[in-house]
Structure 1
């Protein structure tokens, strides 16, 4: 007899099926949850090991700081900062891999190399130097000292072994406490032990996210650092844009001089010759006039091509979508164009995207040996995204061609990026994205869910309780040796669990404080006025 269950719709027996499907689903989910818990606890031990290995590094950095500010040995400060930044880069990478939370580098852009002045000297303050070595070292020293991320890195270096490392092994701490409770010989301990063990298992999946948020709060980029990097990037792209515009003007001048201007001069000479022959040889004069008319048509066509290269009329009249469709009609390839762009961007943006697409089509026809190209133009919120895909041979390297570097410079003026994926053998996918060039479809309303609002209030209102009375004050009482236990929970536990409880309360208070401040910052940023509807 065939095993299985009957399908209610067809009335047939489904072989291999059984009524234990829901039970199997429960077992599968339980197994997945157990694997997640084991992975979290294993990675947590690795993060804790990083904190242990970090202790000698803390000693080295503190010694360098002491010698720098105590004895004036400032040459030790840059190596200490570089060592700290390399270690924090490792910490960011591990935290991002574990939690999935992106953590940006918070550092300000490095200073430019020193420039020799007109008098042949390098100036630093009121001093002058022949060699750029000391000015460059002085500039990097100021960069290290004035960057707030330097001091945040060092603060993280000091507090990580007693905060982040213990947060990573929070399930292990709870399990150890659950094992310890039955040894007290109290019925309450016997009852609380399985509850604490269950809490350790239940809290384990949330530890990576908490660890990532804690790391981002101390080692992530601040709004000031993002603005500083953006200003530096805009200054660099402004210089590149001015250089590109100057080169474009020189190209237009050269084309006019070598093309249309030469033709107009030749037309003038031909008309002068025809004027001399009009009485003596009318037939020759007519031939010269016909030649002049042909030259004028060629000059007019050349001027139209030149104007089209500066700013195509179809782009100004019909917009980006129709201009790209006109490019597709002129291309020797089979080009499919899809446009989903309800709003037109600004004319400079349209011009930059148009010429970028034109360059990509030209590259596909000349160098990629492609036959078909697809172009997709759409919006992603307030960003404009253009994807150009061809079936060519691939293997495109943007670092080798000046054309693609020119596209990147042209798009960088609008904070745009050009991403190219071109494996050998194809296909080649070029993606252009320009952020904040389209009007917002809906205004952003300052809102926060009720749960987040309550969590922010609880964290900011009660963070002091585990941080100071149950944490810092209990540590001070244990160091002094006061026997009065009062309501300090850590004082009721024998060592080393008393010290572990003090550190745990301090960590809980810090996590609550950082969470409350993070939610408050999110709420304040959401209260900024939204852009008006277009």
Structure 2
């Protein structure tokens, strides 16, 4: 790791430690409000309104803790049950939904330990760098000089001055140590929060079922749309040309005896139409499963895409061996769609594709130096990519600030034992 990297990460972790101290204090009043709301439930039904409202604040605070943990490499899944149909903003149904969700009680159980952990680890994150900064700014020197002034009149003791200057290298050591340790302390706090805020095994299974239901519906819709596209392309393209080809050949047969010259022209036209129909069929086949993907694998297929791109595109690939066919296909079409978006919308002068496999995870990144401003909520291309990856438990993130650059990051499990991969490949 370069020097500026660990310094940057350390400074970010120190800033996160300061934020953690501020946020940890908020846990205590939230815990008090929850207990008061729970106690007041039998009293005129005040808790029926107050407790769900307090729970919203607690969940927002817990979500913030999950996001800050993610900053330091600790992923915590949201475990809450989906809101049942017909549940309003207030009332018994909403109260019952909140109070019977085990995640609510796990959040409440985290509030006080989270406050203690946040304060302690936040202070530790700040202590070492602060002590180092104190040494670097030679604060002990001025203390020694002040003592020398008061104890020796106008004579400043040389020993105290030397000790003061020795605090400079000591401060540098403590500052560097603090910046190195700070990210680990932030990660430890994320792991501490995960003990409370992560879903239980039962909740994970419930969330998995919900996710599978959603992605299954998305996959079915995507497959139906793909079939309609193939049918439309066949009907409007190759099929129409083949019908025209048959009519041209039939007309040539009628004219071959009495007007051979016209018949030859019609046959020449038929030959051109057959070539065009063949090209369209090849494009259609490539849209279903490109031959280059079957022959060369993901690496070769993506490099072929880069060569045909109108924008200069580099490929950095570290994907040894072949992946499961469904995974390769999903990754290829996701990269192809991302590069198509670059050519259509980015006004970029350069693009790149990065593909790396780490264990059972395939990480894809497509970026450009264009104008940015891409939005997943506009259009269907990015949303289609996300649905295609979600069918394999994959994820996609987009970074595209106005003015660029645009970076699309995709992660896709590529283990042959992945449940979605097995289902998609037709394994019984």
TM over 0.5: yes
Take 1:298 and 1:332, find their aligned partners in 2: how far apart are those partners?
A: 23
Question: Residue 55 of structure 1: which of 29, 32, 43 is its match?
Answer: 32
Aligned residues: 341
Alignment of 1:470-481 (within 5 A): none
Partner-residue secondary structure (3-state), 2:346: coil
Take 1:282 and 1:210, find their aligned partners in 2: how far apart are those partners?
A: 87
Contact 2:354 2:365 in 1 (8 A): yes
Question: Residue 322 of structure 2: which of 331, 336, 344 is its match?
Answer: 344
Question: Residue 57 of structure 2: which of 86, 99, 104 is its match?
Answer: 86
Alignment of 1:101-500 (within 5 A): 102=74, 104=76, 106-111=78-83, 113=85, 143-155=97-109, 160=112, 215-437=193-415
Take 1:296 and 1:95, find their aligned partners in 2: how far apart are those partners?
A: 60
Q: CA deviation at 1:88?
A: 5.0
Partner-residue secondary structure (3-state), 1:398: coil
Contact 2:52 2:94 in 1 (8 A): no
Q: CA deviation at 1:419?
A: 1.7
**Which of structures 1 and 2 has the bigger CA Rg?**
1
Contact 1:349 1:437 in 2 (8 A): no
Take 2:66 and 2:244, find their aligned partners in 1: how far apart are those partners?
A: 72
TM-score relative to the length of structure 2: 0.68
Greater RCO (Cα-Cα under 8 Å, separation 6 or more): 2
TM-score relative to the length of structure 1: 0.56
Q: Bigger CA drift: 103-112 or 229-238?
A: 103-112
RMSD: 3.8
78 and 382 in structure 1: CA distance in 2 versus 1, 3 angstrom threshold? farther
Q: CA deviation at 1:255?
A: 0.9
Contact 2:361 2:413 in 1 (8 A): yes
Structure 1 unmatched runs, 5+: 1-31, 114-131, 172-204, 441-534
387 and 164 in structure 1: CA distance in 2 versus 1, 3 angstrom threshold? closer
55 and 425 in structure 1: CA distance in 2 versus 1, 3 angstrom threshold? closer
What is the CA deviation profile of residues 161-194 of structure 1, one whole-angstrom value per residue up to 9, with x for unaligned ones? xx666677789xxxxxxxxxxxxxxxxxxxxxxx
285 and 103 in structure 1: CA distance in 2 versus 1, 3 angstrom threshold? closer
Take 2:117 and 2:307, find their aligned partners in 1: how far apart are those partners?
A: 61
Take 1:400 and 1:219, find their aligned partners in 2: how far apart are those partners?
A: 33
What is the CA deviation profile of residues 47-102 of structure 1, one whole-angstrom value per residue up to 9, with x for unaligned ones? 467426743541222222x46xxx9x6x9547524413422542664698699684
Contact 2:372 2:401 in 1 (8 A): yes
